[in-house]
Every structure is written in C-alpha cells, then in structure tokens.
C-alpha cells in the first residue's frame, strides 16, 4: 500500500463538506450492522488527491470470518468493462483499430451466423444483438476455445435496432479483438496498457495472480440465489473481461481521476483529452436499455453518463449530467464527475437484488454529490 499515485489530503482541503460524508459513513456502517453485506470499501478523490479511503466489515465469512483490510481486492463485476474498453481505447489511439470497423475485420470467422456487419461500436454500446450469449467455462483458461465460442454467438435481434445490456458477451468479443490485433493475452494487454502505467499494478487486476489471490474478498449473495461470480482460484485467475476484475476502491477512484484529467494522472499521459471526450460521450441518448428495465443509460464507449432524466442507475440522481461511470451487478459503482473533478468508488462483496440495490446506490452517490462544494 505504498507509492500510491494519489497523495492523501484532508477532505476539507479538497472542498468536501463534513456532514454529508459523516452521513455516508453512518449509512454504510448501518448496512454492515444490519447484515446487508459483509464488507465494503469506499474511496473519494478530487484534483489528483485522495480525500478518503475507508474499509468496512469482513472480506469473508467462512470457514472463518476475516476482516476486510485496506489492501483487500474486491470483485468489480461489470466495472471491469471500462478497464477492458480502456485497452480498446489505446488501440484506437495507436491507429491499430477504428471503433467503426466490423469485428470480422479482425476475426474473420466472427461473421458466422449473420454477424459479419457488426461493428466494434455496436458491441461497445450494447447494440450488437447477442446480449444473452456467453462462453463456456472451459474457455476461461483456453482462449482459442474462447475465440471459437465468441464466433459461434447467435443473433437474438437485428444489430443496431435495440439497446440491450450485453452482460458478458460484448466484452468477450472485445477481448478477442484485443488478442487478434496484438497477438497477446488480453489480460496482459490491459495490465501493460492501462493498469501498470497508472501505478496501480498492486491494486487492480484483470486476472489475479496466485500470489495475490489471498487478498480477494469472497463474494456473497442472498441464501439460495445464484451469484454471478465464484470464490475460486480459477475464476479469480480467469479475469473475465466483462465481469471478473478485482481491485481496491482507491484504485478505481484513481482510474477515474485519470479520466477526469483528460487522460493524464500525474506525469503519466495515458490518453489524449479528445479520446476521453469521445469515449464518455452519450451515444444512445434517450433510447431505453431493455436490459436495464428500459432506463436510458446514455451509453458511451465503456462508461455511461447521467443525462437529464429523473431516473438513472448508480451515479446518483443529484449527479451533474456529464457525470460518468459504471457499476457491478448488485454490488458496486464507480464514477467521475467532470464538473467538480471528483471521483468516487464504492465496492462491496454481496450481490443484492433490486429494488434495494438501486435505491441504496442512489442514496450513497447522492451523499457524495451533496458533500461537493
């Protein structure tokens, strides 16, 4: 936990009001006491400095209870999508790919089953037409099998005709494009292009090495429910590109500080300001997302933005319209606010169902927005 890229500062120094942050702390403390989730971690940053990072509760419950720590790694679920997309952004800036290219330009066999015209843009904005597709478990460790599975995806509707969240399928597809273009494992590309240059190599992983797996919090869910993640070495190592990343809250807050800095964090220029402006743009407008109960998600190329309508997931109803970020199923949200320079990450180790999950996210993010002076 040394040499972190964000120096620490007092919240008041960074323009945060004390009362809303105290209420945020009390709310999460109450959730833990009520057994809503075993553990959580939050991080709040502004203008390249870390205002707070706090850990709550337990990382695991069985066979013995283990307290969560500052260096605990939390399953990020779909927050991982933005990290995978960041490797795509890097390839765009290098001129290796264009977001409007057909996937089949890089993976010719992807054209099977009527998918030949599907573009990277349609995949990244959840308009590709195969939201329910998935790869086999065997493909986690066999990326030749993963590529075959991806190419065998079948269309459920005409690409571009609907917005419907592609929970796993889109980012398996994008991961295979990364491998086709670079000739390397997508996990290595995400690490070398995005995570390591930012100085987050010990706190953010898409594919957790064995030596760090003891730091991973177990994921939990309601009794009898199917949790979309596993407390296994195979799952943690697999680094599923749309749902299998692990990290600390402060690492995700630092990633979004880079985004708010126009692609720069400290002396590291990861992306150009124009790239960041492009990928955080609202490309889907008021079109409802059929995979999100019809809510207009204002999809960018990775993160989504707040927009103007009353209802939004995760970012907080009080958020500035340009606020952008992403969440993890039933468990977490991370975001950046270009109007204030604030980034915030909230991660837990429990997949809570709606409507409670979305209601608590709105309250938690709103308390942060209320604290911004």
Residue 2: what pLDDT? Answer: 59
> What is the distance between the alpha carbons of residues 88 and 270, in angstroms, rounded to a whole number?
13
Of 186, 201, 233, at which residue does a domain stop?
186
CATH code at position 282: 3.40.710.10
* Residue 196 located in a structural domain: no
What is the tens place of the pLDDT at every residue in 240-272? Answer: 999 999 999 999 999 999 999 999 999 999 999
Question: What is the C-alpha to C-alpha distance for residues 315 and 336, in angstroms, rounded to an integer?
Answer: 9
Q: How many domains does the chain have?
A: 2
Tell me: do 255 and 169 sit in the same domain: no
pLDDT digits (tens, 9 = 90+) for 24-78: 999 999 999 999 999 999 999 999 999 999 999 999 999 999 999 999 999 999 9
The rounded mean pLDDT for the chain is 97
On whether residue 4 sits in a domain, the answer given is no
Is 191 part of any domain? Answer: no
Cα 99 to Cα 153: distance, rounded to the nearest angstrom:
20
For 189-211, the pLDDT digits (tens) are: 999 999 999 999 999 999 999 99
Same domain, 17 and 38: yes
Query: Average pLDDT of 358-372?
Result: 98
One domain for residues 112 and 226: no
CA distance 165 to 212: 31
* Residue at a domain's end among 186, 201, 230: 186
Residue 203 included in any domain: no
Q: Considering only CA atoms, give the Rg of the chain.
A: 19
Q: What is the pLDDT of residue 239?
A: 98
For residue 286, count CB atoms less than 10 angstroms from its CB and return exposed for 0-12, middle for 13-18, buried for 19 or more.
exposed
Mean pLDDT is lowest, of 1-10, 44-53, 112-121, 350-359, for: 1-10
User: Could you give the angle at the alpha carbon of 11 between the alpha carbons of 8 and 16, nearest 5°?
Assistant: 145
Q: Are residues 231 and 293 in the same domain?
A: yes
Structure tokens at 259: 């985004």
Residue 278 has pLDDT above 50, yes or no: yes
Shared domain for 90 and 50, answered yes or no, is no
Q: What is the mean pLDDT of residues 133-145?
A: 98
Which of 186, 204, 232 corresponds to the end of one domain?
A: 186
Residues 355 and 249 in one domain: yes
Pairing of the two strands 268-269 and 304-305: unpaired
Identify whether residues 169 and 219 lie together within a single domain: no
Residue 134, domain CATH: 1.20.58
Which residue bears the tokens 């075993």?
38
Residues 160, 255 share a domain: no
Please check whether residue 198 lies inside any domain of the structure.
Answer: no
Q: Which domain holds residue 99?
A: 84-186
- When pLDDT is cut at 50, 70 and 90, the band that residue 302 belongs to is very high
Same domain, 148 and 46: no
* 201 is a domain residue: no
Same-domain pairing of 119 and 54: no
Residue 256, in any domain of the structure: yes
Residue 199 lies in a domain: no
pLDDT band with cut points at 50, 70 and 90 for residue 1: very low
Give, in degrees to the nearest 5, the angle at Cα 173 between 166 and 129.
45
Residues 237 and 349 in one domain: yes
Residue 18, phi then psi, degrees to nearest 5: -70, -40
Predicted confidence at residue 3, as pLDDT, reads 87
Query: On the CB side of 92, how many CA atoms lie within 13 Å of its CA?
Result: 22
Q: Same structural domain for residues 74 and 170?
A: no
């Amino acid at each position: 936990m040394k040499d972190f890229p964000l120096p620490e500062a007092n919240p008041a120094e960074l323009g945060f009001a004390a009362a809303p942050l105290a209420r945020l702390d009390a709310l999460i403390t109450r959730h833990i006491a009520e057994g809503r989730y075993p553990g959580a971690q939050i991080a709040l940053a502004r203008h390249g400095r870390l205002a707070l990072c706090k850990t709550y509760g337990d990382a695991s419950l069985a066979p013995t209870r283990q307290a969560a720590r500052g260096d605990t790694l939390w399953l990020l679920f779909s927050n991982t999508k933005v990290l995978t997309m960041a490797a795509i952004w890097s390839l765009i800036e290098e001129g290796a790919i264009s977001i409007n290219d057909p996937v089949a330009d890089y993976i010719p066999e992807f054209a099977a089953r009527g998918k030949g015209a599907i573009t990277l843009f349609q995949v990244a904005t959840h308009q590709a037409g195969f939201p329910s597709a998935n790869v086999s478990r065997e493909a986690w460790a066999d990326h030749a099998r993963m590529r075959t599975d991806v190419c065998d995806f079948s269309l459920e509707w005409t690409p571009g005709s609907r917005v419907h969240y592609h929970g796993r399928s889109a980012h398996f597809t994008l991961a295979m494009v990364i491998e086709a273009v670079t000739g390397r494992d997508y996990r290595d590309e995400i690490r070398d292009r995005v995570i390591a240059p930012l100085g987050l190599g010990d706190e953010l992983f898409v594919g957790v090495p064995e030596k760090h797996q003891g730091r991973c919090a177990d994921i939990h869910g309601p009794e009898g429910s199917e949790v979309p993640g596993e407390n296994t070495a195979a799952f943690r190592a697999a680094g599923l590109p749309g749902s299998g990343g692990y990290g600390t809250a402060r690492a995700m807050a630092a990633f979004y500080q880079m985004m708010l800095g126009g692609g720069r964090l400290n002396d590291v220029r990861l992306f150009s300001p124009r790239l960041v402006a492009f990928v955080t743009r609202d490309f889907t407008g008021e079109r409802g997302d059929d995979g999100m109960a019809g809510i207009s998600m204002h999809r960018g190329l990775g993160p989504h933005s707040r927009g103007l309508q009353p209802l939004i997931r995760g970012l907080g109803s009080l958020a500035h319209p340009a606020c952008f970020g992403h969440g993890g199923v039933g468990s977490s949200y991370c975001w950046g606010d270009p109007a204030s320079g604030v980034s915030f990450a909230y991660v837990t180790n429990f997949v809570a169902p709606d409507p409670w999950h979305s209601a608590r996210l709105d309250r938690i993010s709103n308390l942060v927005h209320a604290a911004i002076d």
